[in-house]
Structure 1
Amino acid sequence: MRDLCASERTRGAKRMAMLLRSISAENYRSLRSIRMDTADVNLFIGENGVGKSNLYRALQLVQAAVLGSFARDIAVEGGMSSALWSGPRRAGKAVRIRLEVELIDAERAITFRYRIDAGLKPPAAAGFAFEPQVKEEELSVDTARRPVPMMKRAGPSIAVRGEHGRLEDYPGVAMQSETAISLLGDAGHYPEIGTVRRVIGQWRFFHGFRTDHDSPLRAPCLAVTAPMLDEDGGNMAAVFATLYHTREDTLDLDRAVASAFGGARLEVPPPGQFAEFALVLPEFPQRPFSPRELSDGQMRFLALAAALLSYRRPPFIALNEPETSLHPDMLPALADIIASASRASQIWIVTHSERLASAVEERCGVRPRRVVRKDGATWIEGMRVTGSIDDEDE
C-alpha cells in the first residue's frame, strides 16, 4: 500500500503551521526524566504498566496549564501525592513536576518553548495540601538567533515582555495554583502568549468513548455547526451533518464506513432542531439502524472517524488505545483514517495492538516507538538522552 501520509506531506506541512517539536517531562508519575522529539505521526506501543498513557497524560497537563485547569486536572488524578514521580527519591530534596514543550512555526522559522514547574506547598504556606503549587513558568521565543523570554514566573511574581521590548513586572499576582500563561493569555495584550495558548488549546485528546445506553454518542444533538468533535463525542451527529450538508465532501468518511462495516453507509438527513444519523447495512438496505441499535464497536469506530475526519482538523490529535472494543477487521480502516487525518494534523497514538501499529506503519511509513521500563522509569527503546530515536536517523 502506498504511503498515504507521505504523499500529502508537503500540503499537510502548510496546513500544520505550528507543530509540536518536542516534549520533556520530569518527575511525573513513571516519567523520571524523558525528552522526546516528535514527528508528524507518533506511534507508541508497549505492555501494560510501562507508562504509555503517562506520556499522553503529560501532554494533556500542558494543555490544562495553558487553559487554566492545571490544578483541577492534577486534583482529578488524585492530587500531587499521586502525580509526583512514583520511584525512589533523594531524601530531603523537594521533587517537582517539570513539563516542557517546543512548538515550531515552520512558516516563520520561530520556535516557542513553554515550561512549567510544579510542586507541593511548603508546610507553612497558604494553600491546599495536595493541590499543585506552580513554582516557575517560562515562555520564550527563538528566531534562530537566541531565545528571548516573553514571560517568566517565579512563585506568585510574573515578569512579561511589554510593548517597549523589556521584561516588566506584571501588576497582577498569580495564585500559587494558577498558571501565568492562562492569566496573561486572557489579558489580550501579549500576542506570543496568546498564540501559544490558542494553538495548544485546540489540541484534542480522545481516551475512549462511552458507549453505554446513555452515552452522548447515542443521543441526537442540537443542530449547531460542528467543525470539530468534542472530546466526549457528544456532538458527533452534528459533526457528520456539518460534513454532509456544509462541506459536502465525505469521500474519506464514506470510504472508512464502507471499509469498516462491509459496505455500509451513513444516512445523515438535513438537520432540523437536532442533528441525527443512522447506519445502513448492505444486508438490510431499507432498514437504517439508529445509534441506539448499534454495537459498542460500531459506535466507537464512528466516533473515531468523526474525530479524525472532521470539517476542521485540530492541529494535534492524540488517541489513547483507540482499538478498544473494535473488531480486528476494523483496524485497517482505522489506520486509513489516521493516515488521512495526518495530512492536516499531527497525530499521537498509544496502542496495545500490534495489528494496528503495523497497519499505521504501512500507511504512514513510521516505525512504532516501543515503550519500556528502564530502571523503573518509562523509556523508549533506542532513544538517546537528546530525544532522538536511533532508527529515525537512518
Structure 2
Amino acid sequence: MPTVREIEAAGYRSLKSIRFPVGPLSVFVGGNGTGKTNLYRALGLLQAASAGTLTRALAAEGGMESVLWAGSRRKGEPARVRLSAELADETTGHAYTYAVEVGIPPPVSGGAFALEPQVKTERLTLQGGARPVTVLDRDGPAGFVRDEEGRKRSFGTDLLPTETALAALQDAVRFPELQIVRQAMEAWRFYHDVRTDAGSPLRRPCLAVTTPTLASDGADLAAVFATLAHIRGDTVDLDAAFADAFPGARLMVPPPEREARFGVIFAEYPKRIFEPSELSDGTLRYLALAGALLAYRLPPFLALNEPETSLHPDLMEPLARMIVQASKRTQVWLVTHSERLAAAVAESGGVRPRLVLKREGATGIEGLRLSGDFSQDEAGEEDD
C-alpha cells in the first residue's frame, strides 16, 4: 500500500502555508499554542476527504469561519483551506498527489447551506513516467476523471458541492488510481485522547470478534489483546512492553467466549487479577497505546497526538520503545508536548524530533526550508 511522502496544508487555522516531507517515523514536539495539533488535524481532514466526510468534519470544527487562517492574505486571494498529500508506491514506483480546496459558498448557491464548507477544487496526479498525468481534475461542479484506459470521462454522477469526487467515484475497475489513493488514506488510523474515565468503553468487555487493528476510540482493546493471544498465539512483544513499563506485572487475557476481557496481575498482589474498571487512568492509557502500536496488523499510517497525556513521566521511555518498534512495521507520526518522550524516541529510533514553532501567528517547523525539505545541516545530523 502507498506510503505518505509529503504533506501540504494552507489556510487552515495556524497553518498559513506549510509543506514538509514525511518519513517512516516523524516526531513533532512543541509547546502549547504552536499549532502542532493543527498538523495532526490536517491529516485527519485529508482522510475525511477520502471518506467523503470532509465538509462535515470542517463543520464539526466550527465551520469555515473557525477553521480559516485568521491572518492577512494577498489581495485577491480566496479564503480557502488547501490540503494535499503525496503518496508513493515502492512496488510500482508510482507517486500520487491528491489535493483539495474547500471554501465558502457564493452568496447565491443552491448546492450548500449559507455557511456550509464547499469543495472548490480537487486534483489527483500520477507520476509514473516522464511526465505527471492528471487523473482527476475538478473545478466546482465541472471536471474530468481518467478511466482505466487513460481516457477522460465526465464524473457521471451529480456531485454536490459538499462531496469529494475522490469518495464519490467508487468504481475500482474504471478508476483504479482513485481506488488506490482512497483505500490508502481511509486506512490511516488516528489515536488522540482515548477515554479512560469511569464510563470509558476500555473499562468494559467487548464483543469477541477477531480484531487485528485497534479502533481509534480504543473500544475494542480487549478484542485486540485476545486476537494476539488466541489467534496469533503470540504475546511476546505485548508482554515485554507491559513488563517494561510495570516491572513484575502481567497482562492476563483469558480465551474469549461471547465477550473478550483482560486483566492485570501486579507484583504486589500476585493472587489477584485487577479488572480494567480498577486500573488507573495512566495504566489503562498505556495499555491502549500498546494495543494501538503492537496489534496483530498495523494500519499503513498511524498517527499519535500527545500520547503522553495522563502517563507518569517514567513511562516515556517504555512508550518510546513501543513507538520505535511500531515504526519498523508501518509509518508512525507522533505529535507531543513531552521533550522527554521526543528525546527517548530519538535515542531509540535514531530520528531527529522536529521543533514546531510559531512565527507571526503562523505555524512552522524549525529547519524547514521554503522548498519543503529540511536543511542539509539537519539532514546530515540525522544521518550520523
Normalising by structure 2, we get a TM-score of 0.96
Whether 1:208 aligns to 2:184 is: no
Work out which of the residue numbers 266, 274, 283 in structure 2 matches 1:281: 266
Question: Distance in 1 between the 2:77 and 2:126 partners?
Answer: 31
Question: Distance in 2 between the 1:88 and 1:114 partners?
Answer: 26
Question: Distance in 2 between the 1:189 and 1:215 partners?
Answer: 43
Residue number in structure 2 paired with 1:261 = 246
Whether 1:292 aligns to 2:277 is: yes
Whether 1:305 aligns to 2:290 is: yes
Work out which of the residue numbers 59, 69, 73 in structure 1 matches 2:43: 59
Question: Distance in 2 between the 1:162 and 1:189 partners?
Answer: 5
By how many angstroms is 1:116 displaced?
0.2
Question: Distance in 2 between the 1:371 and 1:332 partners?
Answer: 21
> 5+ unaligned residues in a row in structure 2: which ranges?
none
CA contact (8 A) 1:100 1:114 kept: yes
By how many angstroms is 1:387 displaced?
1.5
Question: Distance in 2 between the 1:375 and 1:213 partners?
Answer: 42
Whether 1:356 aligns to 2:349 is: no
CA contact (8 A) 2:68 2:81 kept: yes
Work out which of the residue numbers 117, 122, 127 in structure 1 matches 2:106: 122
Whether 1:87 aligns to 2:71 is: yes
- Deviations along 1:62-91, one digit per CA (max 9) or x if unpaired, are 000000110110011001111111212346
Work out which of the residue numbers 300, 312, 315 in structure 2 matches 1:330: 315
SS in 1 for 2:340: helix
Aligned partner of 1:147: which letter?
P
Deviates more, 1:292-301 or 1:130-139: 130-139
Aligned partner of 2:241: which letter?
A
Whether 1:48 aligns to 2:32 is: yes
Question: Distance in 2 between the 1:153 and 1:307 partners?
Answer: 36
By how many angstroms is 1:251 displaced?
1.4
CA contact (8 A) 1:252 1:337 kept: no
By how many angstroms is 1:187 displaced?
6.3
Question: Distance in 1 between the 2:367 and 2:247 partners?
Answer: 39
SS in 1 for 2:169: helix
Residue number in structure 2 paired with 1:98 = 82
Question: Distance in 2 between the 1:258 and 1:163 partners?
Answer: 52
Normalising by structure 1, we get a TM-score of 0.94
Whether 1:199 aligns to 2:184 is: yes
Whether 1:33 aligns to 2:20 is: no
CA contact (8 A) 1:157 1:174 kept: no
Question: Distance in 1 between the 2:238 and 2:172 partners?
Answer: 40
Residue number in structure 1 paired with 2:304 = 319
SS in 2 for 1:189: coil
CA contact (8 A) 2:316 2:340 kept: yes
CA contact (8 A) 1:185 1:197 kept: no
SS in 2 for 1:175: coil
Question: Distance in 2 between the 1:322 and 1:281 partners?
Answer: 23
By how many angstroms is 1:92 displaced?
5.5
SS in 1 for 2:244: helix
How many residue pairs match? The answer is: 378
Whether 1:243 aligns to 2:193 is: no
Q: Percent same amino acid among aligned pairs?
A: 52
Residue number in structure 2 paired with 1:77 = 61
By how many angstroms is 1:170 displaced?
1.9
Question: Distance in 2 between the 1:369 and 1:308 partners?
Answer: 21
CA contact (8 A) 1:252 1:340 kept: no
Whether 1:160 aligns to 2:145 is: yes
Whether 1:113 aligns to 2:97 is: yes
By how many angstroms is 1:94 displaced?
2.1
CA contact (8 A) 1:158 1:173 kept: no
Assess, with a 3 A threshold, how the Cα gap between structure 1 residues 343 and 353 changes in structure 2: closer, same or farther.
Answer: same
Instruction: Identify the structure with bigger relative contact order (alpha carbons < 8 Å, sequence gap 6+).
Output: 1
SS in 2 for 1:25: strand
By how many angstroms is 1:107 displaced?
1.7
Aligned partner of 1:250: which letter?
T
CA contact (8 A) 2:2 2:88 kept: yes
Question: Distance in 1 between the 2:128 and 2:240 partners?
Answer: 42
Question: Distance in 2 between the 1:145 and 1:345 partners?
Answer: 29
Aligned partner of 1:223: which letter?
A
Aligned partner of 1:358: which letter?
A
Question: Distance in 1 between the 2:249 and 2:135 partners?
Answer: 53
- Deviations along 1:13-54, one digit per CA (max 9) or x if unpaired, are xxxx42100001110100001000111110001110010000
Question: Distance in 1 between the 2:148 and 2:317 partners?
Answer: 52
Residue number in structure 2 paired with 1:6 = none
Assess, with a 3 A threshold, how the Cα gap between structure 1 residues 165 and 188 changes in structure 2: closer, same or farther.
Answer: closer
By how many angstroms is 1:172 displaced?
1.2
Question: Distance in 2 between the 1:70 and 1:59 partners?
Answer: 11
SS in 2 for 1:185: coil
Question: Distance in 1 between the 2:190 and 2:173 partners?
Answer: 26
CA contact (8 A) 2:207 2:259 kept: yes
CA contact (8 A) 2:317 2:341 kept: yes
Aligned partner of 2:339: which letter?
E
Work out which of the residue numbers 193, 200, 203 in structure 2 matches 1:218: 203
Q: Superposition RMSD on alpha carbons, in Å?
A: 1.2
Whether 1:389 aligns to 2:374 is: yes
